[in-house]
Structure 1
Amino acid sequence: MSTSHKPKDRGDTMTTVAEQLIRRFKERGIRFVFGVPSGSWLYYMEAMRKEGVEFVLVSNEASAGFMADVSSRLTGVPGVCYGTVGPGATNLSTGVVNAYLDRSPVIALTSEPPEKLIGRTVQMAIDHQALFRPITKATTRLTADRIDQILAQALRIATAEAPGPVHIGLPEDLGSRKIPDALPAYAPSWPRPSLIAPAEATLLDTMEKVFLRFKRPVLAVGLSAVRAGVGPLVARIAEKHGLPVVLTPMAKGMLPEDHPWYAGVLFHALSDRVAETHQQADLVVAVGYDPVEFNFEDWMPEVPLLHLDTVEADIDRSVYREVYDIVGDIPTSLERLAASAPIDSSWDKAALKVRRDAMFQAMEPPAGSFGPRAALAILRELLPQDGIMACDVGAHTHLIGQMWRTPAPGLQLMTNGCSSMGFGVPAAIAAKLCRPDSKVVCVTGDGSFLMTAGEIAVARRRKLAMVFVVLADESLELIRLKQDRKHFPRYSTELYHEPCPTAKFVFGVPVFRADDAASYRAALVEAFRTDGPVIVEAHIDSTEYDDLIGRKHK
């Protein structure tokens, strides 16, 4: 739809800017707006009440950004979040930058001073356009005469590759302004069909010739491949050509862990075991690999790179001199490799199985212990295979990235581009709102839990049947581990100076304490039976992390 398109008026009928904007959201399948209201937002809230678009009240605007991010991942429809002028916007910016670096299409709305006060000294006011410019794909300001054009352009920018957030400022005196009621504008269907052109024929020819030259290619699958939905194609290519597959953490689910050519997740727990495979490669075939998760240089052997993506590879070309950018529609490029004659692969499938089995064996919980391995293993056993697990950021993330078996994309939610602590609780709540029939669990450390614990009130208010597992080790364990490895004394990583007693309720949500595997299993069973949110506080032995994470991967 052209940005110059002007919708037809409905005659003499009048509406408000707020009503028309919210109506357009509804037409585009947007079900939720996440945020903390302000006085100037009341007109938009009233419009949402009338139109049936739910305003989800959160405790902190950063969580609104996280929730909008996750809702876009799970529904294919851009998520929407809101923060008021000044502190609301600065809080919101954390969630917005998370969507920016995790490549999620989000529309971030903030109240702004009226046009006549822009640039003046005004209570609470800062320059939101300047604030959001570095952390969004675009930032603009809504006007009464261009609602449809501005929103249509924002949605196009947000969903174009690589997707990300767009900020729209709402002048405080705009929502109540009367305008002619316009007929519905063109509403795109979601998810949108790919608008990405295939790579040029000469590039596809080059790709195939390069691919056939080598005997030990490795497939490295990343975040862009998830959006392209190419998991089955990756499996076909691996099976036909006999190639091991490594995944980035946010690409988990693209190939099942029990697939015979699965080699592991890059740079999470036991990354040295994964490196035993990819360091043998003579070619890296990067499929939708986004270096926002991990730079090529940090793990890749100095071998040629075939980069199949929608953008060129971000790599040091003074070191990696043989880089082939196959820029275009990822499925089209992969179909060409799938149709190629089988290469003369020299990979040893049996040896790969030995390495993979040894890696998973190392993640088995020791008998009689109750550490993070036991906590995750029991949870994985009890959560249905199609259940959704959202994790936070910390030492537990590194173990989850390698250990948690993920049958399909979207069943494990994490942030790895931005890696913002506090993501887990709001992410899980958004998942439950978007997938109300799914079992949803959050796994978080006690440090990251403290950052967004206030959102537990959202789960209680909305009576969401879900489980929050807090792996309690009373420390910022990942930082403690890094201090130890640098032989620094432990300093300022303890969360409490003495053991903290377990509360029976947090914001009215019951808390079940577990100190061993048996009580933890019983707590989870009861929690999954409960018709409402439950917190399971698992007091674990965190020393297990020492031998599992932060290992050499090159």
Structure 2
Amino acid sequence: MTAQPIKSEPVTQPESMTGAAAVVRALELAGTEYVFGYPGGAIMPVYDALPGSQLKHILVRHEQAAALAADAYARVTGKAGVCMATSGPGATNLVTGIANAFMDSVPLIAITGQTQTAMMGTDAFQEIDTFGITLPIVKHSFLVRDPAEIFNVFAEAFAVATQGRPGPVLIDLPKDVMQASFAVSPQNDHRARSTPWPDLDPALIEQASALIAASRRPVLYFGGGIAISRSEAALRAFHSRTGIPAVATLKGLGGLPTETPDFLGMLGMHGTRAANLAVNESDLLICAGARFDDRATGRLASFAPHAKVIHIDADASEISKLRHADIAIGGDMAKVLDALRPGPLSIAPWREHCAQNKTRWAMRYDAPGKGVFAPALLNELSRRAGDELIMTCDVGQHQMWVAQHCRFSRPQAHLTSAGLGTMGFGIPAGIGALFAEPKSTVITVTGDGSIMMNIHELATIKRYRLPLKILLLDNSQLGMVRQWQELFFEENFSEVDLYDNPDFAEIARAFGLEAFTVDRREEVDGAIDRLLSATGPILAHVRIDPRENVWPLVPPGASNSDMMEA
């Protein structure tokens, strides 16, 4: 991830300014266009300084949505997303979104108001230790006590958030610091400098290239680090010149276009059988920007049991953390992939074997019955949406169906909460994605459980006339929990029945959105047309079979080769 673009034109500053005015100016200097937020008492001085600035503030209806929208904006643009809230409940409402960005390595600047410095530690109104609460889920934190520090703090915050392995940075601002004036000097206008990657070690590159050349059953295993580092072009070039069969993590989807020859799909708990079998049979894993997380590996001890590992990652702490790397290469992902030149490989029989498995275990869309089959709907919708698609997804069964069945042409086309698994991510993420790329076709796929987490953001969509297309798959269940209770808890269905759901189409219309309901399979084609042709916000409420499960599935604690099928 490169540093946030910094404006380079000459800056003229007044002789003095308030801390709040400095916050606004520091954001402008960092190249910030949008701030997602919600005002309140302690942060009010900054809101007082916003009018007349170059910043565009997006008023959400809950602070969690501000953080999640900023998160999605960052994933699409590669720049740091910015969110802002007041002290106390405003700050605590940001916490889930900050944790979400931390788990998925997303550059985020979270700005929070704080009670006056003289009142800190007295249990003042809406006082909370935001610095302490967020300490485990940020790359760095700042508690500003002097308004003259603001320019330096913000410049450093953007640098920390965007360089190396990206992540969230918290800036906590006491109210009196924002209200105080200070003398402006050239030193106040500090600008962050990029930290270059270390030079590649030619010996390591030569060793890795030789190991690849000697392999007979290699697999390219890539993850979210490809999207984070904007290294998809280098990944595709490496894959093109080697022809090595490839698998992706949930966050890696789109690194190679879905239809790429030798791409076997997602691996792991709900991965394709072809992908999991290839990894299980491999003699070499080339791991690029992935971290061997439990949802990808299944039982770690039996993951790729015959394979040596080349691990490439921007964060050296991830290498050999869970699986020993025979060759460890840290640094710039694109430069490493470009440098690997193993020459012609002798893997034709292996490629043919993997291709046969891909054909043999291809997903099927001919489910019996007259009801809507969600995988078929999602597959067709993503194909018709084309290369302009950005799909933001909530968490649950629909999340796995999207990963398994949708077509993605680039990493930024698939935005999902992977590490934290945040229900309610989809709609705020759709909002952030539309501000990042207004001309893209942005579709939020959500479930009847997830949508209720942030349904109030329909008001934000209406306010800003955002043409978000919402596909709501409604099985009147907390579907993924119900599936696990069916399979692993002897069908003891505990607190998963959402029989009393409201009429979601009526709710959407009450917020001023176009909405319609689909119940039967013959309505799907027209529903897709209506969704894609809508020029404004629209919600398609699609009722599906509450007994439908996500297949295949690796049971908890099992090897990825032990997959359950329908």
Corresponding letter in the other structure for 1:169: D
RMSD: 2.7
- Give yes or no for the alignment of 1:405 onto 2:407: yes
For residue 7 of structure 2, what is the aligned residue in structure 1? none
- Shift in CA distance, 527/283, structure 1 to aligned 2, threshold 3 Å: closer
Aligned CA distance change for structure 1 residues 531 and 240 (closer, same or farther; 3 Å): closer
TM-score, structure 2 as length reference: 0.89
Q: What is the aligned partner in structure 2 of residue 509 from structure 1?
A: 513
Asked if the contact 1:111/1:171 (under 8 Å) is kept, the reply is yes
Report the 3-state secondary structure (helix = DSSP H, G, I; strand = E; otherwise coil) of the residue aligned with 2:124: coil
Amino acid paired to 2:393 = C
- The one-letter code matched in structure 1 to 2:472 is V
Distance 1:461 1:310 in 2: 40
Contact 1:57–1:458 at 8 Å: present in 2 too? yes
**Contact 1:67–1:426 (CA<8 Å) still a contact in 2?**
yes
Q: How does 1:13-32 map to 2 (within 5 A)?
A: 13-32=15-34
Native 8 Å contact 1:45 1:55 kept in 2: no
Does the Cα contact within 8 Å between 1:243 and 1:347 map onto a contact in 2? Answer: no
Q: Read off the aligned partner of 1:158 and give its amino acid letter.
A: A
Normalization by structure 1: what TM-score? 0.91
The alignment of Structure 1 onto Structure 2 pairs a total of residues equal to 543
Is the 2:155–2:192 contact (alpha carbons within 8 Å) kept by the matching residues of 1? Answer: no
Residues 1:198 and 2:202 aligned together: no
Equivalent residue number for residue 418 of structure 2: 416
Please state whether the residue corresponding to 2:427 is helix, strand or coil: helix
The AA in structure 2 aligned to 1:21 is V
| 1:148 and 2:181 matched | no
Instruction: Give ranges in structure 2 of 5+ residues lacking alignment.
Output: 4-9, 562-566
Aligned to 2:522: 518
**Map of 2:268 onto structure 1:** 267
1:133 corresponds in structure 2 to 135
- Correspondent of 1:49 among 51, 70, 73: 51
- 1:51-90 matches, within 5 Å, as 51-90=53-92
CA distance change for structure 1 residues 324 and 525 in 2, over 3 Å: closer, same or farther? same
* Equivalent residue number for residue 4 of structure 1: none
Instruction: Note the alpha carbon deviations across 1:75-117, whole angstroms, 9 max, x for none.
Output: 2221111122111111100000000011011111111121112
Give yes or no for contact 2:311–2:325 (8 Å, CA) kept in 1. Answer: no
SS state of the match for residue 196, structure 1? coil
Rounded to whole Å, the distance in 2 between the matches of 1:421 and 1:231 is 28
Deviations 1:390-431 (A, max 9, x none): 111101111111211101120111111221111001000111
Q: What corresponds to 1:101 in structure 2? A: 103
Which letter does structure 2 place at the counterpart of 1:509?
L
**Residue-by-residue CA offset, 1:292-337 (whole Å, 9 max, x unaligned):** 57465647312221101123364778x9556321112222222232
Distance 1:154 1:293 in 2: 31
Query: What corresponds to 1:541 in structure 2?
Result: 545
For the 8 Å contact 2:80–2:109, the answer to whether it is kept is yes
Alignment partner of 1:494 out of 486, 494, 497: 497
Distance in 2 (CA, whole Å) between partners of 1:429 and 1:512 is 21
| Aligned 1:96-245 pairs, distance under 5 A | 96-142=98-144, 143-181=146-184, 185=189, 195-245=196-246
Identity of aligned residues (%): 26
Q: 1:442: how far off? A: 0.4
> Structure 1 stretches of 5 or more lacking a match?
2-7
- One-letter amino acid of the counterpart of residue 553, structure 1: N
Worse-superposed segment, 527-536 or 213-222: 527-536
1:364–1:403 CA distance, 2 compared to 1 (3 A):
farther
The corresponding residue for 1:307 is 311
Question: Aligned residue for 1:530?
Answer: 534
**Quick one: which amino acid aligns to residue 521 of structure 1?**
D
- Tell me which moved more, 90-99 or 304-313: 304-313
What displacement does 1:175 show? Answer: 2.2
Tell me the SS of whatever aligns to 2:176: coil
Contact 1:40 1:175 in 2 (8 A): no
User: CA–CA distance in 1 between the matches of 2:539 and 2:174?
Assistant: 40
Contact map agreement 1:293 1:416 (CA 8 A) in 2: no
Shift of 1:230: 2.9
User: Would you say the 8 A contact 2:288–2:311 is kept in 1?
Assistant: yes
In structure 2, what residue type is equivalent to 1:332? K
Secondary structure of residue in 2 paired with 1:49: coil
Q: Which moved more, 1:97-106 or 1:344-353?
A: 344-353
